[in-house]
C-alpha cells in the first residue's frame, strides 16, 4: 500500500491498494516505516479493476508523488516496493518489459505495465516508481509456475488507478462508459475476409438495439479504427478507453466499412453493473477442450439461459476431457474448485490455478439441473 499526496489527493489521507488485498477483511491496519499503525476504513472498492481506496485518520506523513504512466516507455528502469513474503519495505529493480497488456485474465479491465522487477506475494498494492521516485503503477500480480517471481510481473498504470480512486472518493462508486457493441480482434482470417490488413482495427460482431453505437450509425461488421483520435488495434485497450469515458460525452469514432472510412460521433452511455462495455475474445481452455464466454443478454437469448451467473460453454472439442464428462455447447459453468465463476476471466484464472495438480472440480448446469464434474488431465 502507498499513501497518495500531492495533486489529485493532496489534502486527504487516502491509501490506494489492490481490492484483493482488502477484500473480505474484518480489520485493516496501515503501518508506516517508523512503526506507527492506524486503523483504516474502506472508502471504496472496484473489483473489476482491482483497485481499492482506504482512509486513515492522519495527514502528517510524507508521501510519494504521482507520475504519469502514459509517458512511461518500454525499457525504462523502474523500482517495485512491497512487503513480499512478510519482509517489509523491500525494493527490487527492473525495466518496463511491455505496456498495455490486456486479456491476461486477471481483472475485467486490464491495461497492465509488465516489468521484470521481481514481484512476489506481498508486493500487491505497493508502488512501482520511476527513477525520479514518482509512482507510475501499482504492483498487482505475477505470472509464475513456481509461486515466486519469474521475471513477469504486472502493475496497474497509475493513470488508471488514479481515475478509479478519484471516482471512489467522490461518489463511492465507479461509473463506466458504454457504447453497446460486442467486439473481437481482427485476426488474419477475418482481415482477409474483410479485405483489410491485420491489425488495422477491431471488428464489431454485434450492435445492441437502441444502444449509443446503433444511434451513432455503427453497424455489425464495421471495423473500428479510431476512437477519440487515437488508433484502435487492441480489444482490451478499446474497452478500457470506452469505460473511462464519462457518460454523456460526445466522442469521435472512425469505422472502416466496405473499404471506406466513416467519421461518426457517438454519445457515450452509462454501463449498468451487469453490462459489459465490449467483450474481448473468448477464453479457451485447451487442457480440457472447451471455450467459454461471459453471459450477456444476447448470449442468454441465444442459448436460452435463465441465469446471469457463471459462464457459457460456446465450443467443445470432440473427444476432449470435457466432452467425455458430458459438457456440451450451452452448458453453464457456475463454479470451479468450489469458487463462483462470474466471467470468462474468472474461468481462465481457475484453469491457470489448476495447472499444478491438473485437477478441476466444476459445478455445471444443463437445462434446470446442476451437477459436479471432476476433470483430470
H-assigned helices in the chain: 19-22, 158-171, 188-194, 212-216, 235-243, 297-302, 321-324, 344-353
Please check whether residue 221 is in contact with residue 203, taking contact to mean a CB–CB distance below 8 angstroms: yes
In the annotation, is 20 catalytic? yes
Q: Are strands 250-257 and 260-267 parallel, antiparallel or unpaired?
A: antiparallel
Count of CB atoms within 10 A of residue 159's CB? 18
Residue with grid cell 472496484, as numbered in its chain: 46
In the annotation, is 124 catalytic? yes
Alpha carbon separation from 119 to 66, 100, 143, 149 (Å, rounded): 20, 18, 10, 6
Name residues whose C-beta falls within 8 Å of residue 173's C-beta, 6 or more positions apart in sequence: 44, 167
Q: Which of 5, 46, 50, 222 is catalytic?
A: 50
Q: In DSSP terms, which residues pair with 17 in a beta bridge? A: 52
Q: Which of 13, 97, 102, 124 is catalytic?
A: 124
> Which of 145, 264, 182, 259 shows the shortest CA–CA distance to 216?
264
Residue 102: all three cell numbers together: 490486456
Q: Which of 20, 103, 284, 366 is catalytic?
A: 20
**Alpha carbon distance, N-terminus to C-terminus of the chain:** 39
Alpha carbon separation from 241 to 17, 47, 179, 194, 218 (Å, rounded): 22, 18, 11, 25, 17
Q: Could you list the active site residues?
A: 20, 50, 124
Amino acid at each position: 500500500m502507498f499513501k497518495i499526496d500531492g495533486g489529485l489527493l493532496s489534502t486527504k489521507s487516502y491509501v490506494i491498494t489492490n481490492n484483493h488485498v482488502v477484500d473480505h477483511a474484518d480489520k485493516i491496519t496501515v503501518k508506516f516505516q517508523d512503526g506507527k499503525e492506524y486503523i483504516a476504513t474502506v472508502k471504496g472498492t472496484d473489483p473489476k479493476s482491482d483497485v481499492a481506496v482506504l482512509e486513515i485518520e492522519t495527514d502528517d506523513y510524507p508521501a510519494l508523488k504521482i507520475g504519469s504512466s502514459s509517458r512511461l516507455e518500454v525499457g525504462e528502469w523502474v523500482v517495485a516496493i512491497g512487503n513480499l513474503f512478510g519482509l517489509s519495505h523491500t525494493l527490487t529493480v527492473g525495466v518496463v518489459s511491455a505496456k498495455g497488456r490486456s486479456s491476461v485474465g486477471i481483472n475485467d479491465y486490464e491495461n497492465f505495465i509488465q516489468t521484470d522487477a521481481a514481484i512476489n506475494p506481498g508486493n500487491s498494492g505497493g508502488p512501482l516508481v520511476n527513477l525520479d521516485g514518482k509512482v507510475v503503477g501499482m504492483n498487482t500480480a505475477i505470472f509464475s509456475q513456481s509461486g515466486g517471481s519469474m521475471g513477469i510481473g504486472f502493475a496497474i498504470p497509475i493513470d488508471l488507478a488514479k481515475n478509479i480512486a478519484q471516482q471512489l472518493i467522490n461518489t463511492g462508486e465507479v461509473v463506466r462508459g458504454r457504447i453497446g457493441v460486442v467486439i473481437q480482434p481482427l485476426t488474419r482470417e477475418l482481415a482477409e475476409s474483410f479485405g483489410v490488413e491485420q491489425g488495422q482495427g477491431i471488428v464489431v460482431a454485434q450492435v445492441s438495439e437502441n444502444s449509443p453505437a446503433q444511434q451513432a450509425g455503427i453497424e455489425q461488421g464495421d471495423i473500428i479504427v479510431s476512437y477519440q483520435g487515437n488508433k484502435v488495434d487492441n480489444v482490451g485497450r478499446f474497452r478500457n478507453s470506452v469505460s473511462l469515458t464519462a457518460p454523456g460525452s460526445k466522442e469521435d469514432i472512425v469505422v472502416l466499412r466496405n473499404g471506406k472510412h466513416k467519421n461518426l460521433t457517438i454519445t457515450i452511455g452509462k454501463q449498468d453493473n451487469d453490462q459489459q462495455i465490449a467483450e474481448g475474445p473468448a477464453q479457451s481452455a485447451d487442457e480440457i477442450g472447451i471455450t467459454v464466454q461471459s453471459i450477456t443478454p444476447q448470449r442468454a437469448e441465444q442459448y436460452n439461459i435463465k441465469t446471469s451467473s457463471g459462464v457459457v460453454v460456446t465450443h467443445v472439442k470432440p473427444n476432449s476431457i470435457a466432452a467425455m464428462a458430458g459438457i456440451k455447447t450451452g452448458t453453464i459453468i457456475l463454479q470451479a474448485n468450489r469458487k463462483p465463476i462470474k466471467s470468462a476471466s474468472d474461468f481462465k484464472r481457475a484453469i491457470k490455478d489448476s495447472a499444478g495438480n491438473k485437477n478441476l472440480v466444476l459445478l455445471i448446469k444443463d437445462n434446470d439441473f446442476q451437477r459436479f464434474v471432476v476433470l483430470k488431465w
